[in-house]
Structure 1
Amino acid sequence: MRALVQRVSEASVTVDGTVIGEIGVGVLVLVCAMQGDSTREAEKLAEKLAKLRIFGDTAGKMNRALLDTGGAALVVSQFTLAADTTRGNRPGFSTAAAPDLGAQLYEHFAAHLASLGPRVETGRFGADMKVGLINDGPVTIWLEIPPDGGEKISD
């Protein structure tokens, strides 16, 4: 599974003109399930994110994690993180998980992250979403948990 994590002062996601998720201080997480991913990768990614030390301590050093700060997470599905741009100018997305599996893993990731403690808001899988954010820092981190051959969700 892949995620692009942005430390934010605030973030929101809007569908059809209605805000469906918003947070204050925390992280905006754009997440993509890849072919071969299972619930194991979703859980490992959530655990890595919850403990990722990207928030400042009293000395201004990035030594605090989302769990330490009481911050929230806005989790948004983003299949385009699977883009393959090695051939030509049009990205290919064949390495992304199939939509049904992608939706299940996205929801599992968000639920597992919430079970670890932070407040989690979400976008809507497959919807045309408008995402707004104020990137704090800016701090933007790429996370990837490669498939480990664990048990898969059946289609």
Structure 2
Amino acid sequence: MRALLQRVSRASVTVEGAVLGEIGPGLLILVCAMQGDTRAEADKLAQKIAKLRIFKDDAGKMNRNVVDAGGAALVVSQFTLAADTSRGNRPGFSAAAAPEDGRALYEYFAAQVQAQGIAVATGRFGADMAVDLTNDGPVTLWLDTTQ
């Protein structure tokens, strides 16, 4: 699985004019299930994200994880993280999991993030979503369970 994390002071996701999920301080997690991914990858990714020390402590150093910081997570599916841009100018997305597998892993992943003690809001799998955020730092990290 692949994820792009952004430490945010706030984030929201809107579909057809309706806000589906929003958080204050925490993490915006854009996530993509890749072909061959299983629940094991989702578990690994959720656990890693919960433990990442990317929030400032009282001394201003990145020593706190999202739980310690009292943050939440907005988990948004984004199959374009599977983009292959090695040939030509049009990205290919064949490395992404099939939609039914992607949906199942996205929902499972969001549940696993919540199981780590993090309040979770979500978007809608497969929908045309508008994501609004204020990146804090900025802090943006790329995670891939194959690396």
Alignment of structure 1 residues 7-86 onto 2, 5 Å:
7-86=7-86
State the alpha-carbon separation in 2 of the partners of residues 10 and 90 from structure 1: 32
Identical counterparts, % of pairs: 71
TM-score w.r.t. the length of structure 2 is: 0.98
Structure 1 unaligned segments of length 5 or more: list them: 148-155
> How far is 1:146 from its partner?
2.1
Distance 2:126 2:50 in 1: 25
Please state whether the residue corresponding to 2:92 is helix, strand or coil: coil
Q: What stretches of structure 1 move > 3 A for 4+ residues in a row?
A: none
Give the distance between the partners of 2:135 and 2:18, measured in 1 at CA: 22
Provide the C-alpha distance between the structure 1 equivalents of 2:25 and 2:67, rounded to a whole number of angstroms.
12
Q: TM-score, normalization: structure 1?
A: 0.93
Q: 1:116 offset after TM fit, Å?
A: 1.0
SS at match of 1:21: strand
How far, CA to CA, are the matches of 2:49 and 2:15 in structure 1? Answer: 25
Whole-angstrom CA distance in 2 between matches of 1:56 and 1:78: 27
Amino acid at match of 1:46: A
Instruction: Give the structure 1 partner of residue 112 of structure 2.
Output: 112
Q: How many Å separate the matches in 2 of 1:14 and 1:51?
A: 28
Contact 1:73-1:119 at 8 Å conserved across structures? yes
Q: Provide the C-alpha distance between the structure 1 equivalents of 2:69 and 2:59, rounded to a whole number of angstroms.
A: 15
CA distance in 1, matches of 2:67, 2:21: 20
SS of 2:140 mapped into structure 1 = strand
Residue 151 (structure 1) aligns with = none
| Residues 37 and 146 in structure 1, CA contact (< 8 A), matched pair in contact too | no
Give ranges in structure 2 of 5+ residues lacking alignment.
none
Instruction: Quote the Cα distance in structure 2 between the aligned partners of 1:67 and 1:11.
Output: 17
